[in-house]
């Protein structure tokens, strides 16, 4: 009996097993798993600042000229086409006589042929120059002008504001007219024909006047731009002294702005037309 008691109670001085480390003969898998390593905590990186793209510079505004005088249109050079061949300008015509006779004329010119391309003109005006019981209809032409002009310029590839500062025409010592072009001067002759000095409504004015424009480019042969054969009815005269000459940014085409004085309500009115032409290699 003593032998059995010792097996049940264990060897004196040896504690009973209670969960700590397993005995050498313990079954595998009964041990507690080792603790998982703690990941090192790193500070969160600050988000990269958003890069704001540089704004595209806006094109310069159209070039506007309002010369002094009682009945003078406001002239606006709108710009050149992206290929530099066509340009556009606008005449703003104030009301004269009838209260709703204000209107706008917009022209696109092919400088290579000095002519209007197909669909290259626009007129914006009120329904009636006299108006009605509610006044001018539409009351404001600005929205119609902006919409119609935008379509016209887009159709002909005109970029609003794409122009260089024009040079003013002056009288040269040689008697010709001229304007600066590069480091030189572009001389030309300008001769009126059939100018009307009398009644702006008479038969002579009805037949109209014309002019002859001839370029004399430095180092080149004279070139006839306007032959003087086209007489414009009720236009009584033309002038170019002090008028602007525009050259496209590439220096390949030019546009000379010409004043025209024509019959209007109770007198005459000054408006603007142009001649476009190709230029030789820029000096």
Neighbours of 216 (CB within 10 A): 18
Extract the tokens encoding 248. 């496209």
Q: Distance between CA atoms of 117 and 105, rounded to whole angstroms?
A: 15
Under 8 Å between Cβ of 196 and 237? yes
Q: What is the pTM (predicted TM-score) of this model? A: 0.77
**What confidence score (pLDDT) does residue 155 get?**
97
Q: Is beta strand 267-278 parallel, antiparallel or unpaired with respect to 170-171?
A: unpaired
Element (H, E) at 145: helix 142-155
Q: Distance between CA atoms of 86 and 253, rounded to whole angstroms?
A: 9
Q: Residue 149: which region, alpha, beta or left (left: phi > 0; alpha: psi -120 to 50)?
A: alpha
**What confidence score (pLDDT) does residue 11 get?**
43
**What confidence score (pLDDT) does residue 4 get?**
39
Q: Distance between CA atoms of 210 and 232, rounded to whole angstroms?
A: 7
**Torsion angles phi and psi, residue 9, rounded to 5:** -95, -10
Neighbours of 159 (CB within 10 A): 15
Q: How many residues does the chain have?
A: 283
Which residues in the chain come in under a pLDDT of 70? 1-44, 46, 57-59, 280-283
Q: Which burial class, exposed, middle or buried, applies to 167 when counting CB atoms under 10 A from its CB (0-12, 13-18, 19+)?
A: middle
Q: Which burial class, exposed, middle or buried, applies to 12 when counting CB atoms under 10 A from its CB (0-12, 13-18, 19+)?
A: exposed
Contacts of 104-110 with CB under 8 Å at 24 or more apart are 104/141, 104/145, 104/149, 106/78, 106/145, 106/148, 106/149, 106/152, 107/274, 108/152, 108/153, 108/156, 108/158, 109/255, 109/274, 109/276, 110/85, 110/86, 110/276
Q: Is 213 helix (H, G, I), strand (E, B) or coil?
A: strand
**What confidence score (pLDDT) does residue 43 get?**
66
**What confidence score (pLDDT) does residue 68 get?**
92
Q: Distance between CA atoms of 90 and 79, rounded to whole angstroms?
A: 10
**What confidence score (pLDDT) does residue 35 get?**
59
Q: Distance between CA atoms of 139 and 214, rounded to whole angstroms?
A: 44
Under 8 Å between Cβ of 240 and 270? no
């Amino acid at each position: 009996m003593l032998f059995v008691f010792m097996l049940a109670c264990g060897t004196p001085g040896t504690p009973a097993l209670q969960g700590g480390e397993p005995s050498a003969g313990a079954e595998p898998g009964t041990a507690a798993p080792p603790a998982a390593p703690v990941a090192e905590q790193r500070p969160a990186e600050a988000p990269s600042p958003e890069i704001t793209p540089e704004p595209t510079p806006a094109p310069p505004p159209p070039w506007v000229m309002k010369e002094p005088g009682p009945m003078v249109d406001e002239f606006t050079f709108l710009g050149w086409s992206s290929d530099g061949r066509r340009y556009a300008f606008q005449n703003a015509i104030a009301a004269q006589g009838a209260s709703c006779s204000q209107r706008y004329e917009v022209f696109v010119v092919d400088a290579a042929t000095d002519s209007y391309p197909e669909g290259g003109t626009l007129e914006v005006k009120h329904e009636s120059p006299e108006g009605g019981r509610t006044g001018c209809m539409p009351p404001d032409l600005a929205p119609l002008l902006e919409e119609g002009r935008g379509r016209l310029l887009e159709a002909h590839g005109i970029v609003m504001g794409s122009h260089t500062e024009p040079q003013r025409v002056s009288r040269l010592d040689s008697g010709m007219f001229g304007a600066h072009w590069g480091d030189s001067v572009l001389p030309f002759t300008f001769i009126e024909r059939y100018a009307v000095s009398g009644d702006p409504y008479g038969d002579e004015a009805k037949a109209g006047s014309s002019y002859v424009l001839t370029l004399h480019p430095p180092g080149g042969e004279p070139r006839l731009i306007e032959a003087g054969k086209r007489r414009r009815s009720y236009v009584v005269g033309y002038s170019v002294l002090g008028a602007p000459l525009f050259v496209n940014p590439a220096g390949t085409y030019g546009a000379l702005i010409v004043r025209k004085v024509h019959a209007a309500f109770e007198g005459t009115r000054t408006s603007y037309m142009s001649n476009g032409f190709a230029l030789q290699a820029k000096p």
